[in-house]
Structure 1
Amino acid sequence: MKKHYFLKFLLLLIPVSAFLLMSSSGGRDQNTTGSPGDSNNTCTQCHSAGANFNLSPSITTNIPVDGYELNKAYTINVNSSSSSSKLGFQLTAENSSNTKIGSFTAGTGSRVSGQRITQSAPSSSGNWSFTWVSPATNEGEVTFYAAVNATNGDFSTSGDQVVTTSTSAQVLGISEAKRLQFDMYPNPATESLTIQLPSSSDKATVQFYDYIGRLSLTKTITNSNDKININELSSGVYILKVLSNDKIGTQKFIKK
């Protein structure tokens, strides 16, 4: 009788295990980038080491040497050399405080998972290209962290190789001549926010960005009409970006 139940258990375990392995082949949603903000966790949480596929990953970007501009899209590439024919990855972007910054847009063979990006299916080349949009305000240096997993393709989590890599880029600072000084009140606010422009600016575009850099609200103000209705904003912390006469100013705003 006990053997009979044990056999049933094994038969049930086979499709469940297959489902879990197939789902992880499309990337995992857990934090496995190897970054400090992800507690240095990598794919080895699920994939045990032991094999040597001569895996050598790297991260490249088209961010200029002098730094990235605010709220701009850049191309990020993860490239791998390996003898494995089935590879996966997970990547994130953090500043020096280990805070996630910017946002991702998936490319071919990848998908966005919260504040990270991962493969949508195993890759035979180990190469992925996607887009990172920089934050709307100066968050300082950005570091891209990635963990790449080279598997043996035997539909198990053993005998694989995981290697981490990273690269950094500075932020391109705003010169004093391009910096817009403005006042806003009240802060925090619930229903409306007043933006007081300098005397040299009579009109401006005001943009509200959430904590991961997504544009949430855009309004146009003037010196005579400087109040913004913020009822449609969800409660939380925003970066306020004010653009006027080729100048840019940013401040942190809290919506109650």
Structure 2
Amino acid sequence: MINARVMFTLCAAGAFTVLSTSIPASFLLKAAGPKNGVAAQPGDFANCTECHSTNLVNSGPGSMKSDMPTVWTPGQTYNLNVKIGDPVAIRWGFELVALDKNGDSAGTLTPIDSSTQVSVQGTTNREFIKHTQSGTQLGTVGAASWDFSWTAPSAGTGTVRFYAAGNAANGNNKNSGDFIYTMAKAVAEDGSGLRASLTLQPDSSSVRLGDAITIRARIRDHSGSSHSFVFVSRLILPNGNTYPSGSWLVGPINVNIAANLDETIDIVHNIPVSTPLITVEYQGFIGIAPSTLLDRDSFMLTIVP
């Protein structure tokens, strides 16, 4: 993991609409499975800290991982899994979604035992796989995992990105004291020629003045050989201008990745209280120096009071 810390110093004129959200009490996660839409997926990037809010996301001593192929073949079924490790947790949960480039569900997620279940979010028609009550594995110390299958979509779908959030819980039957982790991983369509992928996964889609936000740039090699990649990022302001003008907000950062493996850059942005209340597009790029672009990703970030 690579860490970077950057100070926002945006200057902008004019009035902009500020988007904000509040979290109702009905969002409490249940042992029988979380609500849909807390897999740290694009849009709001909501995760299980909506309820289990004692600790910041990804602040615990553990991690969340998943074994996935680097490429997919149309119509083929793959056995996938999600793993969470945390030295003090004794109860566990997760939620995962697979999305195409348009943000729609890609392929079909299917349980293979009683530890997982699938449900569809009515507002987005996204399909989520998550734990069941027996799948919380109460009493299991230190690590837990879930197995399920995924049937790949039709040809031409392109890169599929998997997003997930997991709960390493202390088993006190409350929403306090637990640690939440997130992960994201891209799987390229076979024959696409994609050498490396970039998936941006911020801890939130909004940040308050004076606070900090962590953006996780997850880079994966799909070429089958080791490479040195370069990561950079920038902002697109509401008026269409780039920020900073003529340079990069982050980077260039060099990332060395072994064949078919991945690396995460944790980028911490401190937001000064003087920052304007705007919604910006955060863009990230990876490539090979000096000028070969391989992949890009972006999301909307709102700065709130």
Coarse TM-score class (shorter-chain normalised): 0.5 to 0.7
Match of 1:72 in 2: 76
* In the alignment, structure 1 residue 127 sits paired with structure 2 residue 145: yes
Deviation at 1:173, TM superposition (A): 3.4
* In the alignment, structure 1 residue 162 sits paired with structure 2 residue 168: no
Greater helix content: 1
1:67-216 paired onto structure 2 within 5 Å = 67-83=71-87, 84-108=89-113, 109-114=115-120, 115-121=127-133, 122-123=136-137, 124=140, 125-173=143-191
Q: Which has the higher contact order (CA 8 A, sep 6+)?
A: 2
* In the alignment, structure 1 residue 27 sits paired with structure 2 residue 27: no
Structure whose CA Rg is larger: 1
Q: Check conservation: 1:138, 1:173, Cα contact below 8 A.
A: no
Match of 2:67 in 1: 60
Task: Give structure 2 stretches of 5+ with no counterpart.
Answer: 1-24, 121-126, 194-305
Secondary structure of 1:154's counterpart equals: coil
Secondary structure of 1:24's counterpart equals: coil
Q: Check conservation: 1:53, 1:150, Cα contact below 8 A.
A: no
Task: Give structure 1 stretches of 5+ with no counterpart.
Answer: 1-16, 176-256
Deviation at 1:113, TM superposition (A): 1.6
Q: Distance in 2 between matches of 1:36 and 1:89?
A: 17
Q: Distance in 2 between matches of 1:25 and 1:53?
A: 21
Q: TM-score, normalization: structure 1?
A: 0.54
Deviation at 1:174, TM superposition (A): 8.3
1:174/1:45 CA distance change after superposition, 3 Å: closer
Match of 1:5 in 2: none
Match of 1:200 in 2: none
* 1:81 counterpart letter in structure 2: G
Q: Distance in 1 between matches of 2:177 and 2:34?
A: 18
| Count of paired positions | 152
User: For each residue in 1:109-161, what CA deviation from the matched residue of structure 2 results, as whole angstroms up to 9, or x when unmatched?
Assistant: 11112201000121334201100111123211011111011111111111111
Deviation at 1:103, TM superposition (A): 1.0
Deviation at 1:77, TM superposition (A): 1.1
Deviation at 1:97, TM superposition (A): 2.5
- Divergent runs of 4+, >6 A: none
Q: Check conservation: 2:78, 2:149, Cα contact below 8 A.
A: yes
1:174/1:47 CA distance change after superposition, 3 Å: closer
